[in-house]
Structure 1
Amino acid sequence: MSTTPRLLGGRYEVGELIGRGGMAEVHRGYDTRLGRDVAIKILRSDHARDSSFLIRFRREAQSVAGLNHPSIVAVYDSGEDKLTEFGGAEIDVPYIVMEYVQGRTLREVLNDEGTLAPEVAGRITAAVLDALAYSHQMGIVHRDIKPGNVMLGEGGEVKVMDFGIARAMADAQATMTQTSAVIGTAQYISPEQAEGQQVDHRSDVYSTGCLLFELLTGRTPFTGDPISLTYQHVRKAPPRPSEFVPELPSDYDAVVLHALAKDREVRYQGAGDMRTDLLRIAQGRSISPAASAALLGPAGEETADQENTQFLPAGTGGRPLPHEPETALHPVAPVDRDQRRQRSPWGWVFVVAALVAAIALGAFAVKQYRDNQELSRLVAVPRVIGLDQAVAKKRLTDARLQMNVVAEPSTDVEPGIVTDQDPDPSAEVEQNRVVTVTVSSGPAETEVPPVVGETQKKAEAMIKEAGLTLGKVTKEDSPTVPKGHVISADPTPYANLSERDPVDLAISTGAVRIPNFSGWEIQRATEWFTSRGLKVKTESITSSEEPNTVIGQDPGQGKRLNTTTFTLTYAIAAPVTVTTTQPPPATSTTTTTTSPTSSGSTSTTPSDTPSSSSSSSTTTTPKPTSTRPPGRGNVLSD
């Protein structure tokens, strides 16, 4: 028994299920208009009423709609489908129409093959980095690079998928244990992302370093439960890939370690830089000095003070103190046994006193030594408030201190300027102490809320709640949007803006301008209404006008409410009477001819002649209607 395939947007046939995630299902589909295979991602119905899922699903389409790169899965279209629940209620379920890629994800490849040859892993990772470099240039950070989000086509092409998803999950404030999707992501999360700091393009570089590590070794740099993974990403030094694949060239170790630097200021500063080093390895050339330096010692390695601490004997620490006389610990020289017998009891008093004095002197010397050592490790914290971040880091480094940066939005201070520090300036702290500086990130980033279709009052409240301001408000006619509701917003919903930026709104008047349809073919006139979502009905009437043409409309032309039901009256042909004449049947008449005879009598001869009279009959046939096919002609602009 054949079934009619589900159709989305009047053109996309939904086929078999080819993938399922925590938020959506992916089906193979077919674009009936362009005649090509597509992949259709549909939000799971159990999430359709969750506004957070709706927002991040729509953001995915918004984020990648403007990207055009051979290594990024293209998004062709998006829309929403009506779904009827068991109770009869209808809900809107959004969908995204994407490029269909015939192949496998890198997760499937790793599950099947375990590891990849270094040159293959390098080529795939370089393609991923090329896509990321492009997306970063376009202002989009992926935030969720992992093997499951990279497709390997049958022809060897590499395609990065699911742009914007990780960001959506962050917006939904998902924890590390909420969903399996987030748990899986924990294996590739950057230190700053794990600590809840602001994420930038260098977070994608870190995740790509984890991806390359797994392609080379068959495992991720760190393993364990989500909490343990978070700690390891922040504190633990990553292992070298060659620890698991001994024959691996050291250049791959250098690239991976440089990408996995804890401090984002130390790791690759761009996806293109990491890609360049991978291409150099493939060409047999030397990698960058910064990557080579990563082999000297991984940045951000976890310290283990307890393991390095040596417990020394009390007092002198097990060795003579600097400038301490050797006799301080042995003040009494050996004496002969006979001499000891001849000593008075006071001699023992002096011996004990000398020992006590020596011990006191040694203790004092130890204290002085430790105090001096302690004092020599203390430094004054310089003032860095008001300085540029780079200048502040240099000043703290010169003072033998480390710097930790916390970014905070500010509408009053330029981005990159230090607004606060801890400890305070002039405080004395130990060397290598971490000084936390707060750096302005400029006005807070926010997004235009999805106000299209909302009432003007609600839209203004949503804009204010997002930290934005209301810009210009204009009135526009609309055939479908109810009066007082938002037709469009500029910038469009989900666009990134800075705090207090304006958002312009176009509000529907609830009206539509109706043209004069007199003389239009009825089919063309009807399509004018239906294509705009307006309600229309038709009536026919016999008329001498051209058949199938509009001869009346109600209401007439002009501005009308878009909730009106419009009536079009069109002409049909009237019956036509046709008269035909038939000849009457023949009749016989007598004609008299007189001729003289010899006897003077008259003779009469009959002859047949047709009668001049006739009869008529009437036949009625309809006038043929026009067979000219309906044409659209030039549709009037409303």
Structure 2
Amino acid sequence: MTTDASTSGGGQASPRLLGGRYEVGALLGRGGMAEVHVARDTRLGRVVAVKLLRSDLARDPSFQARFRREAQAAAGLNHPSIVAVYDTGADQVVEHGGARVDLPWIVMEYVEGRTLRDVLRTDHPLAITEALSITEGVLGALEYSHSKGIVHRDIKPANVMITPAGEVKVMDFGIARAVSDSSATLTQTSAVMGTAQYLSPEQARGETVDSRSDLYSTGCLLYEILTGRPPFTGDAPVAVAYQHVSEQPKPPSELVPNIPPAVDQVVLMALSKDREHRYQSASDFADDLRRAVEGRPLRGASFAPTTAVPTAGATTALPATGAPTAATRAVPPVAGAAGIVGGTGTLPRVDDPDAAPPEEERRKRWPWVLLVLVLLGGIGAAAYALLDLGGGGGGSDPTTSATPTAAPVPQVVGLPQGQAEQLVRDAGLEPVVQQAPSADVPAGNVISADPAVGERVALRGTVTLTVSTGPEQVTVPDVSGSSQDDARAALRSAGLEIGSVESTDEDPGAERGTVVRTDPEARASVARGTEVAIYVASGQVTVPDVTGRSLDDAQAALNDLGLNVNASEGSAGSGEPGTVVSQSLPAESTVDVGTSISLVVAPEETTPSPTP
């Protein structure tokens, strides 16, 4: 099909038609490589988004190939949290000089909402629960794409859409590649792809990437959602890339104090420089994030020696987070392009609008990689020189070996805090202690070290030791007088487990079926997950033996148990006067509260009056 800019006979420009069915409407956004327009599918009568490769780039075979790769990567992904690709094709356009150029296009799901970048500009920092929900959506999309052998490689706020209903949609698989094709690394086109503030260390170094590179970028994303700023910032992309390679981020709680320590641990683990020490799958990351927010012990990643995600069709150790849907839900048609542009409805935008044009990127990105490597080498040499000068005061022997500049983190996990701190100091490093609850590690022992055990750290650098405070303590709620169902719900809400449920007659005044007490008792401090036994009023009592007791004592004892007393006088000489000689209900029998019991009392002795 050939498309030109000719007008109809009436002088009004006819709508541009792609593939014989998509009427192209208003421009929604423009990036370094493509433009995205709202469009109408005339065959199905729905609103879609059409992405068009820029005509000035269409002559370049490399951009044509990259654009086709995007369509192929995204078209095979069918998940509620991934923007769906419906169709793809190419039309011929006539340039001003008369030349005809193939212009490829992709038809995608139209997503109504705002990008996470726009949300953070107005609403940051977000609440922890909202941050969890958004990050879980991104991780769900990544778990699915990784199971299909696709690594996104450009996770950032501009590529995450939030719909008015709160749904998360990940878009822009424009630089995504199958893992089997990732051996070419990110520098194959002399360009370091991805946005500097969310670049993984291996991307900054130009190394081969895998699924864990996406998890690092998601860690950067979560960091910005929680604090309102990325973990690393700088005046130039190369400065930011250098920080990703060599510097440790501040814990998010240093910027926002109400962030729990467990959330700090999850974020910092996702941002580990060594991908072997990061979460190994998106599901591991999401599970620990949920545990951190809910106050449960963290499980951490399974440090499998995996370096790549299995390709589609192979046996995979990355389970999908949900079954693929038949089709992504379509957004109802929007009346008019003007309403789309003027409102919050936006687009599945593929390239960051702030990105440099591709020609500049191709010229500039590769030198960044070289500059980072040069900077790293220079700083390492300077540090070595300083250490060497600092240790050489008294005429050192030139035959001795060079002074070491770094030391591995010693094995401290599981050791008592004092012993672990001494080992770290003996290695020439400085321990920093933080505390966290743990159901598995005894109180006072080290749960983990950051950097991890065995990782090399510059001398006098810090090692954060997370020390167990023991199982997290919770308070047993007072549920006396509650129904069994209400008591169970209150105990579970407090993080406790339900133990045995037993009947008791220890409180005759309690209504049958209500809770009398718990074991452990109310307001006791116990470990989270402790089983609590519930004692429920039976509505019955055990009859005591009151024979031989005075009528007043017997009546008081029976009334205290909720029993009614009827007393009658017996025959003379039946027993000690004024005492109970018999009872209608046998001792140790079980009866309902409110039952009547008859007592026979020996009559009092009387003295006859004298005869006058």
TM bucket (normalised to shorter chain) is: 0.3 to 0.5
Q: Which has the higher contact order (CA 8 A, sep 6+)?
A: 2
With the length of structure 2 as denominator, give the TM-score of the two structures.
0.48
